[in-house]
């Protein structure tokens, strides 16, 4: 996928030759007035023209009636008109020579009104036809420091020093708040783009443009909805290939998608979980909060991500040492034992016989001299068991903390000269900054200053996870075998659908079997005596289950009976299930009953595929059974699924610990479960856009092998 054309559009948007404000006004609080003042305040170097056919002059500046009256052709248009006029303004502006526009106006369907939606359709058509690079509508303007181009409607002064961060998001308010938090911490954005409803340029287009800016290290995005998944993922991959970190804030869950789900998988997947699974493969780190985004930016802009999850630390307080250990356990990090050579080096500094463990409670022995402090850092950096080193220190908020400032400079010089591993200072609490502390921070660009142990280690864990996810995604997947005939048959069937269709259990399990997912011995019976004969052939005890395409959760209506030990039990169970179905209105939908081998023991797990409305199909695995939604011990991965990715998914669940054997229980066949996850990834690939969901619950994992005891496959009409 190429971004050549969209990069040119963004380039025109962020560095125009001139600006034309359409809908210019001097009414106090008007956004056109705010934008004009910021263009003046930050000394935009090009001409600024005002268009308002009802005025000859505004704020002492000449006002023009239309584009034709301008002394030169327009380049960038700021549109502050009623929504009904915006499309015409853009069309005439493009005809006059404009290359880009910022549309502040709202009313294009964001309030779910039909008239606004119709305006939005026309606006998109005009933008596509004219080729304009457009931010908005319903945006708050932009800050583009390299061109001294500020149209953001915020009155608060901006530091125009160019930093290493770019901000882009669909919420102007969120972008402004993040920018304020970054400035408070001494980090500065180079760009701040409010993309609004994205009728023209999308977040992906800005990411691709920022990927080509060598001055940028971090791109923070706020995403309410991913309009074009392929472009978004491709842009994030380009940014990662260029060495940029992409931090995403993706708030909210897909309630509508969960409510419409026919399978357990959909009820658990929501947009955020699906986003995490798919975007992680492209190297995106999602931040849960704005504070987390700022902490990640501090880490990634100045230190970079660690190569692993093993930490070393030098603390000045035993209590803080305990806080670090607690936070590490909470976030899947560790403070491993130090290598013997590290202990020997530290004993030279702290004294032979000192109790030396990781984190090091250095106290006065570490602070006895700069040489001792540096020796501790060097020893930790050289330790083969450590991926990143943390130091307890806060930036002084005012002059006078000579020891702290000297040690910060010592560490900065050490890292600048070629320190081996990432190194961060970490404070005991979150705190505000002063002009003095920000100046100190600017003097140490090669180290990060993280705040508060739990928040800091959460950021480190997220950065470490990125490396793991990228490695798993880049691993070569086996060339998929030719899709089984049943998959081809189901694709043909789905092409005729007008709405999602749930397959009955027998047909759902036939698809699993075609991909090698193991099933119990079972067969479909059309009457009670056929069921008795099947049970005798399989061997008692057996399970009897109704087969009914319109009944997606059989246990809820008493359509599953277990542990039937003889022929009479099968006959009685048949009658009981028929009565239960009649009581719940499913009597006419019965297609037969499945007689299955009764498999006991093992661990009940879940397997699933869910098609998220934004992110496409994701694979789910974890603890299953009737308490699936209550326990919610599941993890997700984007297809394709390799064995390594499957085992990584397993490790992110509590079920993974149970598979290894827990408190004396025997180990279970995790490889068999991983192979089933790989098979689901193949199904998602082969069925493509006609697969809505697959729900296998429970998958019973045994000491050797495992079996899918129940399954539900939902097809959908083909389409995006």
Element housing 650 (H / E): helix 643-651
The pair of structure tokens assigned to 428 is 């005991």
In angstroms, what is the C-alpha Rg of the chain?
Answer: 31
pLDDT at 255: 53
Q: What is the pLDDT of residues 6-21, one digit of tens each?
A: 999 999 999 999 999 9
Q: Assess whether pLDDT exceeds 80 at residue 260.
A: no
The Cα-based distances of 662 to 125, 331, 665 in angstroms read 60, 21, 5
Angle at 614 between CA 612 and CA 616, to 5 degrees: 50
Which of these, 467, 593, 478, lies nearest to 524 by C-alpha position?
Answer: 593
CA pair distance 253, 250, nearest whole angstrom: 9
SS3 label, residue 232: helix
Q: Assess whether pLDDT exceeds 60 at residue 557.
A: yes
The pair of structure tokens assigned to 602 is 């093992």
Q: Assess whether pLDDT exceeds 60 at residue 436.
A: yes
DSSP state of 103: E
CA pair distance 171, 81, nearest whole angstrom: 20
pLDDT at 661: 85
Q: Assess whether pLDDT exceeds 70 at residue 478.
A: no
Q: What percent of the chain has pLDDT over 90?
A: 70
pLDDT at 375: 87
CA pair distance 693, 610, nearest whole angstrom: 5
pLDDT at 355: 65
pLDDT at 551: 79
How many residues would you count in the chain? Answer: 720
**626 vs 215, more confident:** 215
**268 vs 582, more confident:** 582
Rounded average pLDDT over 444-455: 94
The Cα-based distances of 653 to 345, 607, 621, 673 in angstroms read 39, 13, 8, 13
Rounded average pLDDT over 137-145: 95
Q: Let me know: does 718 contact 494? Beta carbons within 8 Å.
A: yes
Topology of domain 4-249 in CATH is: Rossmann fold (3.40.50)
The Cα-based distances of 411 to 289, 384, 419, 443 in angstroms read 30, 20, 9, 11
Tell me the pTM: 0.90
**548 vs 361, more confident:** 548
Look-up of token digits 């759902």:
508
pLDDT at 628: 67
The Cα-based distances of 181 to 140, 175, 250, 396, 494 in angstroms read 18, 10, 18, 18, 50
Q: Let me know: does 218 contact 297? Beta carbons within 8 Å.
A: yes
Q: What is the pLDDT of residues 188-230, one digit of tens each?
A: 999 999 999 999 999 999 999 999 999 999 999 998 888 899 9
- pLDDT classification of 262: cutoffs 50, 70, 90: very low
CA pair distance 55, 580, nearest whole angstrom: 77
Rounded average pLDDT over 362-378: 76
**522 vs 400, more confident:** 522
Rounded average pLDDT over 653-674: 90
pLDDT at 59: 83
The alpha helices in 351-452, defined as continuous H runs, are 363-366, 370-382, 402-416, 435-442
Q: Assess whether pLDDT exceeds 70 at residue 367.
A: no
- pLDDT classification of 268: cutoffs 50, 70, 90: very low
Q: What is the mean pLDDT of the chain?
A: 90
CA pair distance 713, 517, nearest whole angstrom: 14
Each domain of the chain, given as residue ranges in start order, spans 4-249, 310-446, 477-519+600-720, 521-598
Phi-psi domain of 547 (left: phi exceeds 0; alpha: psi -120 through 50; beta: other): beta
Class assignment of domain 310-446? Answer: alpha beta
Q: What is the pLDDT of residues 92-107, one digit of tens each?
A: 999 999 999 999 998 8
Q: What percent of the chain has pLDDT over 70?
A: 94
CA pair distance 286, 265, nearest whole angstrom: 22
* CATH classification number, 477-519+600-720, choose in 3.40.50.720, 3.30.470.20, 3.40.140.10, 3.10.20.30: 3.30.470.20
pLDDT at 666: 85
The Cα-based distances of 454 to 331, 434, 714 in angstroms read 8, 23, 42
**356 vs 366, more confident:** 356
- pLDDT classification of 135: cutoffs 50, 70, 90: very high
Q: What is the pLDDT of residues 480-513, one digit of tens each?
A: 678 899 999 999 999 999 999 999 888 999 999 9
Domains 4-249 and 521-598 share a fold: no
pLDDT at 11: 97
pLDDT at 9: 97
The pair of structure tokens assigned to 108 is 């294009």
Q: Assess whether pLDDT exceeds 50 at residue 539.
A: yes
Give a three-class secondary structure readout of 325-348: HHHHHHCCCECCCCCHHHHHHHHH
The Cα-based distances of 197 to 9, 225, 537 in angstroms read 17, 10, 63
CA pair distance 545, 595, nearest whole angstrom: 7
pLDDT at 352: 64
CA pair distance 437, 395, nearest whole angstrom: 6
- pLDDT classification of 590: cutoffs 50, 70, 90: confident
Element housing 134 (H / E): strand 133-135
Q: Which CATH superfamily is domain 521-598 in?
A: ATP-grasp fold, A domain (3.30.1490.20)
pLDDT at 280: 94
Largest Cα–Cα distance of the chain, in whole Å?
Answer: 98
pLDDT at 26: 87
CA pair distance 250, 259, nearest whole angstrom: 20
SS3 label, residue 319: helix
- Helices (H) and strands (E) in the chain — how many of each? 25, 30
Q: Let me know: does 102 contact 13? Beta carbons within 8 Å.
A: yes
Q: What is the pLDDT of residues 271-316, one digit of tens each?
A: 788 899 999 999 999 999 999 999 999 999 999 999 999 999 988 8
Q: Let me know: does 50 contact 25? Beta carbons within 8 Å.
A: no
Q: What is the pLDDT of residues 27-39, one digit of tens each?
A: 888 899 999 999 9
């Amino acid at each position: 996928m190429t971004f050549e054309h969209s990069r040119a559009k963004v380039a025109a948007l962020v560095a125009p030759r001139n600006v034309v404000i359409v809908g210019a006004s001097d009414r106090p609080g008007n956004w056109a007035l705010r934008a004009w003042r910021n263009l003046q305040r930050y000394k935009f170097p090009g001409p600024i023209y005002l268009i308002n056919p009802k005025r000859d002059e505004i704020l002492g500046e000449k006002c023009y009636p239309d584009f034709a009256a301008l002394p030169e052709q327009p380049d960038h248009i700021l549109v502050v008109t009623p929504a009904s006029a915006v499309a015409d303004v853009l069309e005439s502006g493009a005809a006059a020579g404009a290359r880009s526009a910022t549309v502040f106006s709202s009313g294009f369907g964001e309030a779910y009104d039909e008239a606004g939606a119709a305006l939005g359709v026309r606006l998109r058509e005009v933008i596509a036809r004219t080729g304009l690079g457009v931010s908005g509508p319903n945006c708050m303007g932009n800050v583009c420091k390299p061109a001294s181009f500020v149209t953001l409607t915020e009155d608060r002064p901006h530091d125009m020093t160019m930093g290493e961060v770019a901000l882009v998001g669909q919420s102007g308010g969120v972008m402004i708040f993040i920018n304020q938090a970054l400035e408070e911490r001494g980090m500065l954005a180079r760009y701040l783009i409010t993309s609004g409803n994205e009728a023209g340029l999308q977040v992906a287009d800005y990411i691709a443009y920022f990927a080509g800016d060598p001055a940028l290290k971090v791109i923070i995005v706020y995403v309410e909805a991913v309009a074009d998944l392929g472009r978004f993922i491709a842009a994030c991959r380009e940014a990662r290939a260029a060495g940029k970190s992409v931090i995403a804030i993706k708030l909210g869950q897909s309630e509508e998608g969960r409510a419409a789900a026919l399978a357990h998988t959909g009820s658990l997947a929501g947009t955020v979980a699906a986003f995490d699974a798919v975007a992680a493969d492209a190297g995106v780190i999602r931040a849960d909060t704005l504070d987390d985004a700022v902490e990640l930016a501090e880490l990634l802009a100045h230190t970079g991500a660690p190569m692993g999850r093993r930490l070393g630390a030098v603390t000045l307080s035993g209590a803080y040492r305990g806080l670090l250990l607690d936070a590490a356990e909470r976030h899947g990090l560790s403070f491993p034992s130090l290598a013997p050579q590290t202990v020997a080096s530290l004993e030279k500094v702290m004294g032979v016989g000192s109790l030396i463990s990781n984190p090091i409670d250095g106290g006065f022995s570490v602070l006895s001299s700069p040489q001792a402090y540096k020796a501790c850092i060097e020893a930790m950096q050289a330790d083969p068991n450590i991926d990143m080193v943390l130091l307890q220190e806060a930036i002084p908020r005012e002059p006078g903390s000579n020891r702290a400032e000297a040690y910060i400079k010592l560490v900065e010089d050490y890292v600048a000269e070629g320190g081996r591993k990432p190194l961060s200072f970490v404070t005991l609490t979150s705190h505000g900054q002063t002009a003095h502390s920000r100046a100190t921070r600017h003097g140490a660009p090669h180290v990060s200053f993280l705040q508060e142990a739990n928040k800091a280690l959460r950021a480190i864990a997220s950065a470490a996870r990125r490396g793991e996810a990228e490695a798993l995604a880049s691993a070569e997947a086996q060339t998929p075998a030719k899709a089984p005939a049943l998959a081809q048959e189901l694709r043909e069937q789905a092409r005729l659908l007008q709405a999602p269709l749930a397959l009955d259990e027998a047909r759902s399990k036939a698809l699993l079997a075609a991909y090698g997912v193991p099933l119990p011995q079972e067969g479909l019976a059309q009457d009670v005596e056929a069921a008795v004969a099947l049970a005798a052939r399989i061997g008692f005890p057996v399970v009897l289950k109704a087969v009914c395409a319109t009944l997606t959760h059989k246990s809820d209506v008493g359509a599953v009976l277990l542990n039937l030990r003889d022929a009479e039990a099968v006959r009685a169970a048949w009658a009981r299930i028929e009565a239960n179905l009649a009581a719940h209105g499913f009597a006419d939908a019965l297609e037969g009953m499945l007689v299955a081998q009764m498999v006991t023991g093992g661990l009940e797990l879940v397997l699933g595929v869910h098609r998220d409305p934004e992110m496409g199909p994701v694979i789910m695995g974890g603890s299953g059974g009737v308490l699936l939604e209550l326990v919610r011990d599941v993890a997700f991965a984007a297809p394709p699924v390799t064995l390594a990715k499957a085992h990584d998914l397993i490790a992110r669940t509590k079920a993974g610990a149970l598979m290894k054997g827990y408190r004396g229980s025997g180990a279970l066949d995790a490889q068999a479960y991983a192979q089933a996850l790989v098979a689901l990834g193949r199904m998602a690939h082969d069925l493509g856009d006609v697969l809505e969901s697959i729900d296998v619950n429970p998958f019973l994992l045994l000491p050797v092998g495992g079996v899918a005891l129940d399954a539900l496959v939902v097809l959908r009409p083909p389409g995006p």
